[in-house]
Amino acid sequence: MEKLRLAMIGLGVVGSGLLRLLDEKRAVLESDYGLTYDVVAVCDKMRGSIYDPEGLDLETVLTEGPLSDKLKGTRDLTSFEVIDLPDVDVVFEATPTNLKTGGVGLEHARRALSAGKHFISTNKAPPAIAYKELESIARENEVYYGYEGTILSGTPAISLALNGLPASRFFSIRGILNGTTNFMLERMETEGMEFDDALALAQEKGYAESDPSSDIDGWDACAKLVIMANNILKEPITPEDVDMQGIRGVTLEDVKEARKEGKRIKSVSSLVFDNGRLKARVGPEKIDRTDPLYHVHDVTNALVFETDTTDTVTVMGPGAGGRSAGYAMLYDLVEMHRHRTRLYK
């Protein structure tokens, strides 16, 4: 097959992580999968943009930025102009998530898929808010829409469920889907911290934003549940269908009381079928040590799949980080390449 031409929108931690992997893994991707490519465009709201149809030197982009004098090409393109470039085959996108409106990430997804470009993103908002619409556009244009990294970053989630558990009927999916809240609750349990002190520590370490509401009020986990319900379970739910409770109301006394009972308080996200009806919930729960989620520590994420074929399968790993999230996008690129001759047929 012809060499793919790739564009990257968003050059923060995640976008940089992907470019580093694309640079490192070029030889193995060609030898093992026959996948060859050039990154021809990079665009970042703060760091600028560069387009060179001959391909960019990724080491220079990573160390000196898109505006380096060592790079030749067209500069100052907007993200939408990058998407519209006629020789771009695949658009990678790693912009901030806006779960209220979908933000620019949703507009990027619509623009790229409608233009017949494969679109791979770690932005949770588009598939959480407009799953049916975007999948329809992708099918209509016979292109790949990949968002593996929206659930557990580089730890397999969607791919495990769809490819690793074929012919399985899912009874439930439960998990720790937000590392920030897991870190905070564990600090309260093991170090006796009050809620506000645990939050301040999470912010100091970079686990929580200055506005932590997406994490501690449950919105981040809610979006991930909606994506899994739609993609894995084929249940067309929206964020409004999720019974969502944050952890603001969890006190140090609550945590101590749970510990006396031999339990831990965790923010558990769940999709459970009850008499054929799907119930989606995010919120704090007391769980005991027989539950796999009891043993999930710090900012680690985990999922427990309960099926009719394997009983339970648990996957655990980092739920954030530039290299991890970048790897999720690399996975989607390989998946797209392996199946692009028969996408949505």
Q: Which residues are catalytic?
A: 224
Q: What are 94's two structure tokens?
A: 């790693």
Q: What is the secondary structure of 237-280 as a DSSP string?
A: --GGGEEE--STT--HHHHHHHHHTTEEEEEEEEEEEETTEEEE
State the DSSP code for 2: P
- Secondary element (H or E) of residue 153: none
Closest CA to 6 of 146, 118, 149: 118
Closest CA to 321 of 17, 11, 21, 10: 17
Report the distance separating Cα 84 and Cα 115, nearest Å. Answer: 7
User: Which residues face 264 on adjacent strands?
Assistant: 287
Asked if residues 221 and 282 have their Cβ atoms less than 8 Å apart, the reply is yes
| Rg for the chain, CA atoms, rounded | 21
